[in-house]
Structure 1
Amino acid sequence: MADQMLNNYLSTSVLDAGTNREDNTNGVLVTDKNYTNMEHKWDEAFGYLYGVDNALNPVLDVDSFLNKYLERTEGDADFTGIAQDIYDAFKLGRAAIVAGDYDLRDQQANIIREKVSTVIARMAVFYLIDGKETRGANPAAGLHDLSEGFGFIYSLQFTRQPNSEIPYFSKTEVDAFINTLLDGNGFWDLTDAEIDAMAADIASRFDFTVEEAHN
């Protein structure tokens, strides 16, 4: 979902593919539809986050995917406002497309990339630390948290730095994290020091600390 949103539908290679920009500027609609192809591509990206939510007034936590974890991140006082930032960027970017202001559109796409990437990274750090702190007293819960963290760590390669074509973490870097998680007997052999090092490394690429991601 993150990859499709951040790297596919919000990319200029998709938004401006073929004659999309010319058609959008001239108000050429998709056959039998009331939107241009560029508008449709932007709406596809929107749908990956808000597809089953109220598009006009999102309530969040209505699916088990990014929408849920946006709500979790918004609920952390250190990240309050991120949900509104993302929604506002989607709205303004859509309005910019209607107005033919493609620079403004791209500015909003960059905001979405940065903020959604932050959600993924924050959840990775949260679950790593939660798993570390929980597994002693409740191994099942701790291993569940680490498994959640594994998924978000894997997703780091699909994040996207604003104003660039590169993720916050390369596939090689993500593979190194995964090798640490799976080495030996996997989570059972994972040390607190290894968890702390991964969490700190992830947080260092973003504008938050490990403590802010898990408090």
Structure 2
Amino acid sequence: MPARSSSLIPRPLGQLADTAPTVPDDLPGLLTCLAQVPDPRRDQGRHHPLAFVLSLAACAVLAGAKSLAAIAEWAADAPPNVLARLGGPCREPGRGPVAPAEATVRRVLQRIDGDALDTAVGSWLAGRERAAGQEENDSDRRPLPSLAVDGKTVRGARRTDGTQVHLLAAMTGIGLVTAQREVDATTNEITVFQPLLAPLNLHG
């Protein structure tokens, strides 16, 4: 069944729901990562940059949004200075940025390349974890570098043919999901394992 405006958030943004609270210094890094996601829309008729829509969605999820409708509501309530910091364009002199409509948010999040968004969100989360590790001086308390890969069936999510959605995720030693990919119904986790790890930095 196609996603509706009240549908749950896309799986890549779900990684943000359980992360530690962010600080203003985290924002530039998040915007940089999201800017790497390809835009699935045609050039004609774009009113809002893709990175702006994605950053609004990410911040809404970090603030507790759990559905597409909640993301759009958070964006609509965001003050102009927040919209500007997230890359919102000013189209009229003397007027601040305008949040995208709910229909725009829904269409973008339904059409976005899930793997590309996963990679962007995962790279930002991994960067936060590395920065936190560098600030931790007590090596006895710092967990050893590790990465675990596990599969899970997403509860309540089904494809248009009725089959359940199954994900393969890579997690760090503290439970941070740095990458995840959907396992197609016609294959298994083994075929997804190498592509899942390919973009990750496995040094050490």
- The structure with higher relative contact order (CA 8 Å, sep 6+) is 2
Answer with 1 or 2: which has the greater Rg. 1
TM-score (norm 1): 0.27
